[in-house]
Amino acid sequence: MPIVVDLDVMLARRKMPVGTFASRVGLSPANVAVLKNGRAKAIRFTTLERICEVLDCQPGDILRWEPEDA
């Protein structure tokens, strides 16, 4: 998938456990795992906004585009 979610990188930088992050954002730990593992098909802007608020970051800090190999 060309969109890569670097949520684990930001969590490590903030030294925030997944459980704490999940409760602050309002997601289940299972849904956080889906995001971290790149299995999410979509994300709501309200969820993205809350993630950025909790991690004090910009959307580009956790989402990036990588071209697929041709």
Write the pLDDT tens digit of every residue in 21-53: 999 999 999 999 999 998 999 999 999 999 999
20 found inside a domain:
yes
**Total domain count for the chain?**
1
| 3-state SS class at 70 | coil
Return the percentage of the chain with pLDDT > 70, whole number.
Answer: 97
Report the predicted TM-score, pTM, of the whole model to 2 decimal places.
0.89
47 found inside a domain:
yes
Q: Strand runs (DSSP E) across the chain, as ranges?
A: 3-5, 63-65
27 is in which domain, residue-wise?
3-65
70 found inside a domain:
no
Instruction: Report d(CA 48, CA 66) in Å as an integer.
Output: 19
Residue 68: which of 17, 4, 25 has the closest Cα? 4
Residue 36: which of 57, 19, 24 has the closest Cα? 19
CATH number of the domain to which 59 belongs? 1.10.260.40
47 close to 40: Cβ distance less than 8 angstroms: no
